[in-house]
Amino acid sequence: MAVGQADDRRLAPLRELERKALWLATWTIHNANHLRPSDGLKVGGHQASSASLATIMTALYFAALRPEDRVAVKPHASPVFHAIQYLFGNQTREKLEAFRAFGGAQSYPSRTKDVDDVDFSTGSVGLGAAATVFASLTQDYLRAKGLGTERPEGRMIALVGDAELDEGNIFECLLEGWKHGLRNCWWIIDYNRQSLDAVVREGLYERISALFEGLGWDVVVLKYGRLLEEAFAEPGGGKLRDWIDRCPNQLFSALSFQGGAAWRKRLLDEIGDQGAVTALIERRSDVELAALMTNLAGHDLPTLLEAFERIDHDRPVCFLAYTIKGYGLPLAGHKDNHSGLMTPAQMAAFRQSMGVREGREWDLFEGLSIPPDELQAFLAGVPFVAKGRRGYESGKLPVPARLEADVPVETSTQAAFGRLLDRLAKGDTALADRIVTTSPDVTVSTNLGPWVNRRGLFARESMADLFREERIASAQKWEFGPKGQHLELGIAEMNLFLALGALGLSHSLFGERLIPVGTLYDPFIARGLDALIYACYQDARFILAATPSGVTLAPEGGAHQSIATPLIGLAQDGLASFEPAYADELAAILAFAFDYVQRDGKSGVADWEREETGGSVYLRLSTRMLEQPQRAMTPEFAGEIVDGAYWWREPGPNCEVVIAYQGAVAKEAIEAVGLIAGDRRDVGLLAVTSADRLMAGWTAAHRARERGVAHATSLAERLLGRLPRHCAIVTVIDGHPATLGWLGSVCGHRVRALGVEHFGQTGTIADLYRHFGIDAQGLVRAAEGLAPGRPLRHLTALG
């Protein structure tokens, strides 16, 4: 039934629930500020933004949404979201009372920390909105494969602040959506014309409309509510409409804050003519005039419901909904309202206006006129929650115990990665069928070409490889189609990580598991770091292969050489970081990764290794060709590789020095051990495959012992515990030296950490390794300085 034909039996409970959602959200924020006044600054933003979106969210959650729809809620609207979920019974009073406190409802909606059915975590503005674009593409990918078709297609919906459109990733994702024929995506822009610090520029809505229309979106401008539309139909209403259309944003906000008397004076001064317009204004009291002038569409339930119900297609839609920040509260429209908070006196007056008795603030239906049993029945029939909790689970895909590929005697980890995926692509396994690869315009140069040639590129509609049809020789088969398993992206790394985040949540959002594998150049992780962190925060599951890495990419110069990425891998929660030197190590790690990204066990305490809960995996790979060792891969050996380190050369009982390396500098470490072994006793060589996992295990063992598990020990302690106390450790990595510098803290050994701390330059690998002191001679020199004794015979003088 269209809203225009709807009677009060439908609108009445919605209006009551709108009031209740606004009250509960406002009370939640006030209560949090009262209990924790030092947190007040950011809570103010919640208070104004929540009021701005209360009507829109009421129309969505209580009427327009269906169980298959997914919503990214504007960060500062979290109190309204929590309030609505409280009304549905998905949120608890205890967590609302503890809003922003430890264990309470989160400041911004969180998939992993909130209990109330959050679809997308939000917080860093712009990312939640962009996530809906890639979630929609993920849904299309699944359905093209015949997966999840037993359920209706859902709409991916974002509630977006107008100031969020300043974020660069917004424009990147919109363009990518256009390339892939985006469908089933709604963005509802809260056009309150206020950012944190200012009022937005005049005419912004025209630029927004043009942007979305140019990229294939339908744009629905929702400016006026029913009261204003009716007033425009009165004599003199046309002049009133013209005045509002010309009114500067700052003036409209200021008058909204000042109220009816200020509206009356300004309108009579500027358009009053002692005739029709004056009569239109004078027929209304100050209260009625203020209600009329602030009756924007974003605060008008019938207008919103009608707009949402009118959409009967799957094209992307941008609703540009005019609102007033802080609507319904004493701070509405004030330019400082983002950090503003209602005073106790204002809150008491607001409570009275809402009909809420003191001490009954948390009661579900307190202050509402419709009987509770009728409202409860209405809530039970809301389509969005008709099927209960909306998150899905998906079974684990079987993973082979070992991955194998034919590799040359001399190869790089990047090349080995391509060969391992190619071997998987040849097989007919459930794992291979659920792998989806993606890359920001570097598919071939990151060795995904063989996989793509066998598995194809994804598109909803088939597109032939015209180069192939024209018989032009090429190693690449660029055929697009629904069966393809590679999602080709433009060069924006933000989009890569947003895509991995959405693909890596397919099991939860759509009930079908995918194994996303993304590749990019290692130094450009930093370009998309915000989106990578966001994907991990959502607990998305994916494998990231970053290559080439470090100053080992010598001829490319400093702009393409990474320094800090090992530290990113070491520090980022939810991301297990590895840097193998050899193909057999990579094979063991990749087999582990395919299992690790599917783990979903629940741990009762902080599990820094995430052995039960799993996570995503980052592989830092290299193009450096190394001679491959010929050795047996036993389960025990594979376990040490996965846990982070193994002895390449066992230290003797009187070991004076150990060289510990990670990654492509293996050759220099091996050479250095050979050079010093004749002059230092029992020299050891430690191969570190994951400083991240090695340190996580060490930290976890400490925490276990602190909790009374006296026998707990870590791999790092078992490896280094055999060394005498006088032994010195020289660590080396083509990356920041702090990555391995902590090894001396495990058992109290002296450490000299070598690595790269400054931007590189062009040259050969030998040039750059020598320049940064990570060549064999640099290691020998560090060993002599750290473990003094007879002069090392193979140490050459510095030039």
pLDDT per residue as tens digits for the range 557-602: 888 899 999 999 999 999 999 999 999 999 999 999 999 999 987 6
Query: How many other CB atoms sit within 10 Å of the CB of residue 366?
Result: 18
pLDDT of residue 386: 87
Asked if residue 734 has pLDDT above 80, the reply is: yes
CA angle centred on 107, ends 103 and 112, rounded to 5°: 60
Cα–Cα distance for residue pair 247/259, rounded to 1 Å: 16
Question: Which of 298, 216, 270, 300 lies closest to 15, judged by CA?
Answer: 300
Report residue 336's pLDDT band, with 50, 70 and 90 as the boundaries. low
Report residue 205's pLDDT band, with 50, 70 and 90 as the boundaries. confident
Cα–Cα distance for residue pair 583/414, rounded to 1 Å: 9
* 3-state SS record for 692-729: HHHHHHHHHHHHHHHCCCCCCCCHHHHHHCCCCCCCEE
Mean pLDDT of 473-481: 74
pLDDT of residue 185: 97
pLDDT of residue 208: 85
Report residue 194's pLDDT band, with 50, 70 and 90 as the boundaries. low
Cα–Cα distance for residue pair 260/263, rounded to 1 Å: 5
Tens-digit pLDDT profile for residues 420-431: 999 999 999 999
Tens-digit pLDDT profile for residues 93-106: 999 998 888 889 89
* Range with lowest mean pLDDT among 186-195, 232-241, 305-314, 462-471: 462-471
pLDDT of residue 612: 84
The gap between the terminal CA atoms of the chain, to the nearest Å, is 86
Report residue 201's pLDDT band, with 50, 70 and 90 as the boundaries. low
Helix (H, G, I), strand (E, B) or coil at 3: helix
pTM (predicted TM-score) = 0.93
The alpha carbon of residue 614 and the mean position of all alpha carbons in its chain are separated, in whole angstroms, by 17
Asked if residue 604 has pLDDT above 50, the reply is: no
Instruction: Return the higher-pLDDT residue of 163 and 27.
Output: 27
Asked if residue 26 has pLDDT above 80, the reply is: yes
400 CB contacts (<8 Å, ≥6 apart)?
429, 431, 591
Question: Which of 666, 471, 428 lies closest to 552, judged by CA?
Answer: 666
Tens-digit pLDDT profile for residues 617-627: 999 999 999 99
pLDDT of residue 142: 97
Phi/psi region, residue 604 (left: phi>0; alpha: psi -120 to 50; beta: rest), is: alpha
pLDDT of residue 296: 93
Q: Please tell me whether the peptide bond between 482 and the residue prior to it is cis, using omega within 30 degrees of 0.
A: no
For 633, the token pair is 């891969």
CA atoms within 13 A on the CB side of 678: 8
Mean pLDDT of 63-73: 95
Tens-digit pLDDT profile for residues 752-794: 999 999 998 999 999 999 999 999 999 999 999 888 877 887 7
The CA radius of gyration of the chain, in Å to the nearest whole number, is: 31
Q: Are 569 and 526 in contact (CB under 8 A)?
A: no
Q: Are 494 and 477 in contact (CB under 8 A)?
A: no
DSSP H or E run through 277:
helix 276-282
Asked if residue 1 has pLDDT above 90, the reply is: no
Mean pLDDT of 218-238: 95
Per the prediction, the chain carries an average pLDDT of: 90
pLDDT of residue 4: 45
Cα–Cα distance for residue pair 326/407, rounded to 1 Å: 63
Report residue 327's pLDDT band, with 50, 70 and 90 as the boundaries. confident
Cα–Cα distance for residue pair 457/439, rounded to 1 Å: 11
Asked if residue 41 has pLDDT above 70, the reply is: no
* Range with lowest mean pLDDT among 208-212, 213-217, 561-565: 208-212
Mean pLDDT of 129-145: 96
pLDDT of residue 248: 87
Mean pLDDT of 664-678: 94
Tens-digit pLDDT profile for residues 369-398: 999 999 999 999 999 998 888 888 888 999
Strand partners, 543: 517, 617
What is the DSSP pairing of strand 410-411 with strand 750-754?
unpaired
Report residue 131's pLDDT band, with 50, 70 and 90 as the boundaries. very high
Mean pLDDT of 320-340: 76
Phi/psi region, residue 634 (left: phi>0; alpha: psi -120 to 50; beta: rest), is: beta
Question: Which of 208, 205, 199, 298 lies closest to 253, judged by CA?
Answer: 199
Longest dimension (CA), the chain: 106
Strand partners, 248: none
DSSP H or E run through 517:
strand 515-520
Asked if residue 37 has pLDDT above 70, the reply is: no
Cα–Cα distance for residue pair 477/481, rounded to 1 Å: 12
pLDDT of residue 5: 43
Question: Which of 682, 711, 717 lies closest to 698, judged by CA?
Answer: 717
Q: What percent of the chain has pLDDT over 90?
A: 70
Tens-digit pLDDT profile for residues 246-295: 998 888 888 988 989 999 999 999 998 879 999 999 999 999 999 999 99
Dihedral in degrees, nearest 10, Cα atoms 242, 246, 247, 250: 160
Asked if residue 679 has pLDDT above 90, the reply is: no
Asked if residue 134 has pLDDT above 90, the reply is: yes
User: Does the CA dihedral 28-29-35-39 come out positive or negative?
Assistant: positive
pLDDT of residue 470: 64
Cα–Cα distance for residue pair 18/57, rounded to 1 Å: 8
Q: Are 330 and 253 in contact (CB under 8 A)?
A: no
pLDDT of residue 337: 55
Strand partners, 281: none
Tens-digit pLDDT profile for residues 494-513: 999 999 999 999 999 999 99
Tens-digit pLDDT profile for residues 391-431: 888 889 999 988 988 889 999 999 999 999 999 999 999 99
